[in-house]
Amino acid sequence: MTKKEKIKAYKAFDKDLKCRGFQFEIGKTYKYEGEISLCSSGFHACEKLSDCFNYYVFGEGTRIAEVIALDKIIKQADGSKLVTNNIEIIRELSWEEVLKLANSGHRNSG
């Protein structure tokens, strides 16, 4: 089910801040034109930071950002990821922040 919401989440990127070939920039908002579908089309993110590493390699070159998913959002049944048609890239997290959040025990425990 597609809902109109606003959700804070986390998104993983490669070293160039790309995901699936799409170039992102910190501080910008992106709108996906067309139908969104989990694992197929739209902008994907995870509410729990640790879930990012189910879909992206944890390692050198991986970058993580705090994002806001806006407007239309579809969540995966197990809650491990979501897809949206509108995403704002808020800020990049340092690896120290990533490790702390991923192991905090507060909804982001790895």
Average of per-residue pLDDT across 2-16: 88
User: Has residue 5 got a pLDDT over 50?
Assistant: yes
User: Has residue 108 got a pLDDT over 50?
Assistant: no
* CA distances (Å), origin 21, targets 8, 50, 91: 23, 22, 20
Residues in the chain: 110
Q: Are 1 and 83 in contact (CB under 8 A)?
A: no
Average of per-residue pLDDT across 70-78: 94
pLDDT tens by residue, 46-66: 999 999 988 888 777 899 999
d(CA 5, CA 100): 27
Average of per-residue pLDDT across 81-108: 86
* CA distances (Å), origin 78, targets 4, 30, 74: 19, 26, 12
Beta strands in 1-110 (DSSP E): 3-13, 18-19, 22-23, 29-31, 43-45, 63-75, 82-92
Average of per-residue pLDDT across 22-41: 96
Mean of the per-residue pLDDT values of the chain:
90
For position 23, what pLDDT does the model report?
A: 98
User: Has residue 107 got a pLDDT over 60?
Assistant: no
